[in-house]
């Protein structure tokens, strides 16, 4: 299955080479850099913002900002290219979240925006259906554990108290479900 | 950071749930940017989170038992458990008292002493009280008017003395138990210690002297619990089967053993005995089993149930021999049962070492008595250790 995210294969040698080539003005190196980090950056932005559309825009901004800094030779240690990209991403995502908090006073944000890529939407919808079926196979308590931890952000202890379960039981049940899902779907999404 | 760390520590889940500390979160993000495998994991988890968000309303509507309900449930269960424990304790205590009363009746010479019939056991005390209730309240006879100091334990004067005290109580004290009755009880209660024990009925001398195996009250209670048995059930199947077993393990026809002929290899006397056994007439069953062992081929089940009958009838010492005979049949399916009930017989006779050995033998075999034998063995060892036996 094609993923909406790009491929990512990077090593330390690649980082060294990429940083040097981008600084030297190699256009292909810039394209390779974007391919390498696009998927990871998009995932991080999605995880932090919980907004797929905003994450997509942020990914573009992050990659552009990183490229600009690389061209200007602002990366002093080429081996830390990943950390450099991550630092850039964190800054921009934090800026976004701060600005979003200010925009939160407006109601316009709740209006859904259409996706830009219909093929991407179809693939995502198919994948979601599969995961949805898997979630439905879990019991009510298990679904609540997942909801309270992954969506609501409660700690395991809080969930345990709320559901009258032991801390270890909640951790074990969540772990079992996560392993089952990731084992089943992560391989499909891996390129 | 390696993918192995991410998988083992579920860092992706913790990252998504906001459970990672900032430093570890940064390391994870840097690793994620360059690892397609962990990207796939996080992508799956993101889709999972989106799905959960979409169905959040439905999931939240699931009703789970409230904490208060669970707590009330536990309180109810705990209360029931306590009530059952108390009821069980009272029942055991009652049984223990009954056992002590029975022991006193069978071992005390007072039970055959006409002078002391009214005062030795709770049962006779009850009879005394009932008798007193039925006595007319009348002035004391002239020959007893000299006072309580002249009263004796003679059978005909004792009741009159009691009647006098009873009438006094009706006039004065509200206490229902006549004080002189208690005094006369105390005075005769010392008799058994001075006189040698008299065996009654089919009771046989104990293997070990009780004096050498005296236990504390708690030990006696536990021993009583240990030695208590229920006669194992008997199902009518294969009357001739065990008769083919011999102590040496070689098969015999059974029908011709001892020069006797039993029709079609059946054992009519044994069958008759077991009919009585099932009816609960253990005395008749025991007599018939003894006859069966002389007239029919010796069989482990005959020996075993003879031991059971004697044990149930209170002849623990007499049950040891048939149980041991039942153990001479190594292929018998009653082998473990024989060990177990032989241990019970030894417990009754207070031969604790032998009882422990038999329980060990029963516990070492797989069967219906394995668990019971292990439990009893543990309890017996604890009693022996605590009592220094």
pLDDT digits (tens, 9 = 90+) for A100-145: 766 555 544 444 444 566 776 777 777 788 888 888 888 888 888 8
Q: Is the pLDDT of residue A25 over 80?
A: yes
Number of neighbours of residue A189 by Cβ within 10 angstroms: 23
**Who contacts B115 (Cβ-Cβ below 8 Å, separation ≥6)?**
B153, B154, B155, B188
Find out whether B370 and B352 touch, Cβ atoms under 8 Å: no
pLDDT at B138: 38
Q: For testing the chain B interface, which of A81, A128, A182, A191 should be mutated: the one with the most B CBs within 10 Å?
A: A182
pLDDT at B303: 93
* pLDDT tens readout for residues B142-164: 343 333 333 334 344 444 444 34
* pLDDT tens readout for residues B6-35: 776 778 888 887 778 888 888 888 888 888
pLDDT at B105: 61
pLDDT at B142: 38
pLDDT at A182: 80
* pLDDT tens readout for residues B35-69: 888 888 888 888 888 888 888 888 877 765 555 55
Residue A101, helix vs strand vs coil: helix
- pLDDT interval class at B179 (50, 70, 90): very low
Q: Is the pLDDT of residue B217 over 60?
A: yes
Q: Which residues of A touch B62 (CB under 8 A)?
A: 140-141, 143-144
pTM of the model: 0.41
pLDDT at B306: 93
pLDDT at B308: 92
Region B126-145 average pLDDT: 38
Closest CA to B7 of B35, B34, B30: B35
Find out whether B293 and B303 touch, Cβ atoms under 8 Å: yes
B108 Rama class: left (phi>0) / alpha (psi -120 to 50) / beta = beta
| Tokens 């004796």 belong to residue | B152
Q: Which helix (H) or strand (E) holds B98?
A: helix B67-107
Whole-angstrom CA distances from A161 to A166, A170, B94 are 8, 10, 45
> Percentage of residues in chain B with pLDDT exceeding 70?
59
Q: Is the pLDDT of residue B264 over 50?
A: no
- pLDDT interval class at B340 (50, 70, 90): very high
Task: Choose the closest CB to A178 out of B13, B34, B52.
Answer: B13
Number of neighbours of residue A60 by Cβ within 10 angstroms: 14
Q: Is the pLDDT of residue B97 over 60?
A: yes
**Who contacts B223 (Cβ-Cβ below 8 Å, separation ≥6)?**
B215, B347, B383
> How buried is B257 (Cβ within 10 angstroms: 0-12 exposed, 13-18 middle, 19+ buried)?
middle
The B-side interface with A (CB below 8 A) comprises: 10, 12-13, 15-19, 26, 29-37, 39-56, 59-60, 62, 64-65, 67, 70
Region B282-288 average pLDDT: 91
pLDDT at B203: 39
Mean pLDDT of chain B: 68
pLDDT at B358: 92
Torsional sign, CA B69, B71, B72, B73: positive
> Percentage of residues in chain A with pLDDT exceeding 70?
79
Q: Is the pLDDT of residue A173 over 80?
A: yes
Task: Choose the closest CB to B70 out of A151, A164, A175.
Answer: A164
Tell me what percent of chain A is helix, strand and coil, each rounded to the nearest 5: 75, 0, 25
pLDDT at A156: 85
Whole-angstrom CA distances from B1 to A40, B38, B43, B337 are 16, 11, 19, 64
Count CA atoms within 13 Å of residue B297 on its CB side: 24
Q: Which of residues 103-142 of A touch B (CB under 8 A)?
A: 124, 127-128, 131-132, 135, 140-141
Burial readout B286-324 (b: 16 or more C-beta within 10 A, e: otherwise): bebbbebbeebbbbbbbbbbbbbbbbbbbbbbbbbebbe
A16 shares contact with chain B (CB less than 8 Å)? no
């Amino acid at each position: 299955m094609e993923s909406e995210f790009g491929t990512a294969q990077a090593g330390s040698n690649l980082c060294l080479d990429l940083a040097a080539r981008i600084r030297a003005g190699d256009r292909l190196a810039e394209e390779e850099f974007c391919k390498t980090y696009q998927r990871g950056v998009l995932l991080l932005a999605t995880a932090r913002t919980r907004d797929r559309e905003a994450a997509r825009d942020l990914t573009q901004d992050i990659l552009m900002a990183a490229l600009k800094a690389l061209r200007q030779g602002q990366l002093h240690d080429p081996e830390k290219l990943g950390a450099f990209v991550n630092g850039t991403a964190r800054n921009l995502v934090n800026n976004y979240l701060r600005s979003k908090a200010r925009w939160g006073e407006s109601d316009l944000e709740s209006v859904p925006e259409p996706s830009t890529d219909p093929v991407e939407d179809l693939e995502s919808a198919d994948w979601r259906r599969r995961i949805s079926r898997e979630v439905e196979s879990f019991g009510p308590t298990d679904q609540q554990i997942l909801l309270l931890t992954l969506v609501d952000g409660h700690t395991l202890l809080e969930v345990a108290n709320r559901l009258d379960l032991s801390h270890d039981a909640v951790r074990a049940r969540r772990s079992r479900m996560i392993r089952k899902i990731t084992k089943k779907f992560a391989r499909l999404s891996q390129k | 950071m390696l993918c192995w760390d991410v998988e083992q520590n579920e860092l992706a889940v913790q990252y998504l749930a906001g459970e990672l500390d900032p430093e570890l979160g940064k390391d994870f993000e840097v690793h994620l940017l360059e690892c397609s495998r962990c990207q796939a994991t996080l992508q799956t988890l993101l889709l999972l989170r989106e799905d959960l968000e979409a169905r959040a309303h439905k999931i939240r509507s699931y009703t789970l038992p409230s904490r208060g309900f669970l707590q009330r449930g536990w309180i109810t269960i705990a209360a029931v458990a306590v009530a059952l424990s108390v009821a069980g304790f009272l029942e055991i205590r009652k049984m223990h008292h009954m056992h002590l009363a029975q022991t006193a009746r069978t071992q005390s010479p007072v039970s055959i002493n006409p002078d002391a019939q009214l005062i030795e056991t709770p049962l006779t005390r009850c009879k005394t009280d009932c008798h007193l209730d039925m006595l007319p309240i009348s002035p004391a006879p002239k020959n007893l008017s000299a006072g309580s100091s002249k009263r004796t334990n003679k059978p005909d004067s004792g009741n009159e003395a009691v009647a006098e005290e009873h009438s006094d109580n009706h006039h004065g004290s509200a206490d229902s138990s006549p004080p002189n009755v208690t005094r006369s009880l105390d005075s005769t209660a010392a008799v058994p210690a001075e006189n040698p024990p008299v065996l009654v009925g089919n009771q046989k001398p104990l293997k070990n002297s009780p004096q050498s195996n005296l236990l504390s009250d708690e030990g006696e209670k536990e021993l009583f619990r240990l030695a208590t048995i229920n006669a194992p059930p008997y199902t009518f199947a294969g009357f001739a089967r065990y008769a083919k077993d011999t102590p040496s393990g070689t098969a015999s026809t059974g029908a011709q053993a001892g020069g006797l002929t039993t029709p079609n290899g059946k054992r009519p006397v044994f069958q008759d005995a077991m009919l009585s056994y099932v009816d609960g007439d253990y005395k008749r069953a025991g007599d018939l089993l003894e006859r069966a062992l002389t007239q029919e081929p010796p069989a482990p089940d005959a020996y075993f149930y003879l031991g059971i009958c004697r044990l149930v009838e209170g002849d623990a010492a007499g049950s040891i021999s048939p149980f041991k005979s039942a153990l001479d049949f190594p292929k018998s399916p009653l082998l473990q049962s024989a060990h177990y009930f032989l241990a019970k017989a030894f417990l009754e006779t207070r031969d604790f070492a032998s009882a422990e050995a038999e329980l060990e033998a029963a516990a070492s075999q797989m069967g219906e008595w394995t668990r019971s034998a292990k439990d009893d063995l543990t309890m017996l060892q604890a009693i022996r250790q605590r009592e220094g036996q």
